[in-house]
Amino acid sequence: MSSTSKFSDYELGFEVDTNIIVNEGFSAEFSINPNMNLRPEMEIGFTHQVLTCTDTCYGGQRVAFTDTSCCHFYRLWDFGDGTTSDTLWVTQHADLLGKVDTFKTITHTYPRPGRYKVTLQILNPYDYGEHLPPGVFLKDTLEQWIEVPFCSKAEFTVLHTDSVDWHTGLVEVCNKTLTLQDRHCGGYDEILYDYGDGSPLTADTVHVYASPGVYFITQILRLDTFYSTFTRQIIIPDCIYPDAILNDTLCVFDTLKITYTGTTNYDTLYYTLEPMQGIKNIQGNHVFFTQDGQYRLWLHASNSTYDTTWIYPNPITVLDCDELWIPNAFTPNKDGINDVFSYVCRGCVWNRLDIFNRDTQPIFSCEGSELCIWNGRVMRNGIAEPVKEGVYVYRLKVRKMDGREVERIGTITVIR
């Protein structure tokens, strides 16, 4: 009977075959297999590959480094741009036992193009089976110069476009104010825009064109002495830009006047308000409100080419203000301040004002569709004479647009 087995000592660097034969007696054979050198001499080397610029933006040029060294436990990379890798542990005997060293290849991103000196250092704590003292390693170092090319790419898109031809890249924007979105890839020192209308180069991504036309916008990206450019053709047509100026806070029974400030190259221009309840369109661009609330103004303009809708940015707030306000004193001294007695009546279409002295004798009367105004005088023998200081009585009647009549009686003090 015979039995064969083997054992290995990886630290000592040999493999032992045992062959035991038992036949009538006992004998054993031992032999060292020299075919497997578990600790050959360290050999250092590495290769690099500059990865192709892709649509994926990495912020710089990527380079893949592969460690081709043999028989080491640790490696340390210095990429020559001020950055290093961590000290990576190499799986023991990975290259000898057919295991995968997942750290053999490492990718580094260089933010700038140029020439860099890359250093690889490998370390081994063993010297042919003898474990070296703690902190002592066999070391080997290799340096190589590599060239990193320029890989940054300029690119931008146009925000709020009206139409885009995806085959030609032609962009049409119905707005003289153009807003760009930077989409560049890679590192840069400076990004400027040429808007194609003769204006100076600028870093601003918002530009206002003075007139309609066809423009070529170019983004210029600079990194050191390297440049990348990207150009788009933009059409700024003779669009319609409706706009308005108005008072967006008023009271019930007030009239809103809409003043158009947009371009005038339209065939049709009209407005709508929402909600329609509580609105009475008097004429043209004057709107009369009969109830409080918040309203939205929409301007609609169109010509043979474009149909544009513009929303007034702020809601129109209509408050339920006091419909009739009457002062209690005035100073008719011709100083230009509070010289007359009058009142505020919202939505009034008719009014009558009577003034009485302390003897209840009428001294002033006014009636009509216009607000009445008393200047503090009384007619005597055809001559308007100032009344004396003191307290007088008024009676005011008004008729609202909805037909309601309101009467107020009170006192007014004349101060000179």
Q: What is the pLDDT of residues 9-67, one digit of tens each?
A: 333 333 444 444 444 554 444 443 433 333 456 788 999 998 876 555 666 788 999 99
Range of the domain at 187: 156-236
Of the two residues 252 and 363, the one the predictor is more confident about is 363
Give the mean pLDDT of 262-277.
73
Give the mean pLDDT of 64-73.
85
Q: Are residues 10 and 28 in the same domain?
A: yes
Residues 18, 21, 22, 26: what is their CA dihedral angle, to the nearest 10 degrees? -70
Reported as type and span, the H/E element at residue 78 is strand 74-78
Q: Are residues 332 and 296 in the same domain?
A: no
Q: Are residues 330 and 376 in the same domain?
A: yes
Residue 319 has pLDDT above 80, yes or no: no
pLDDT interval class at 362 (50, 70, 90): very high
Residue 339 has pLDDT above 50, yes or no: yes
pLDDT of residue 373: 93
pLDDT of residue 387: 94
Say which CATH number the domain at 224 has: 2.60.40
pLDDT of residue 124: 77
Q: Are residues 385 and 346 in the same domain?
A: yes
pLDDT of residue 402: 75
Q: Are residues 116 and 170 in the same domain?
A: no
Of the two residues 283 and 46, the one the predictor is more confident about is 46
Of the two residues 90 and 102, the one the predictor is more confident about is 102
Number of domains, the chain = 5
Residue where one domain finishes, among candidates 300, 319, 338 = 319
Of the two residues 197 and 251, the one the predictor is more confident about is 197
Reported as type and span, the H/E element at residue 94 is helix 94-97
pLDDT of residue 284: 66
- Sheet with 105-110: list strands edge to edge: 46-50, 61-67, 105-110
CA–CA gap between residue 179 and residue 161 (Å, rounded): 9
* Stretch among 98-107, 126-135, 165-174, 242-251 having the lowest mean pLDDT: 165-174
Q: Are residues 220 and 286 in the same domain?
A: no
Residue 117 has pLDDT above 90, yes or no: yes
pLDDT of residue 377: 94
Domain-embedded: residue 96: yes
Average pLDDT, the chain: 77
Domain-embedded: residue 41: no
pLDDT of residue 4: 46
Of the two residues 355 and 104, the one the predictor is more confident about is 355
Q: Are residues 14 and 66 in the same domain?
A: no
- Sheet with 390-400: list strands edge to edge: 329-330, 405-414, 390-400, 348-356, 362-368
pLDDT of residue 57: 63
Give the mean pLDDT of 369-377.
91
pLDDT of residue 100: 58
pLDDT interval class at 264 (50, 70, 90): low
Residue 71 has pLDDT above 80, yes or no: no
pLDDT of residue 351: 92
Of the two residues 361 and 61, the one the predictor is more confident about is 361
Residue recorded with tokens 């008023």? 250
Domain-embedded: residue 80: yes
This prediction has a pTM of 0.44
How far apart, in Å, are the Cα atoms of 13 and each of 16, 90, 106, 238? 10, 18, 30, 85
CA–CA gap between residue 107 and residue 115 (Å, rounded): 17
Instruction: Please list, in sequence order, all residues whose beta carbon lies within 8 angstroms of the beta carbon of residue 25, skipping any fewer than 6 positions away.
Output: none
pLDDT of residue 356: 96
Domain-embedded: residue 40: no
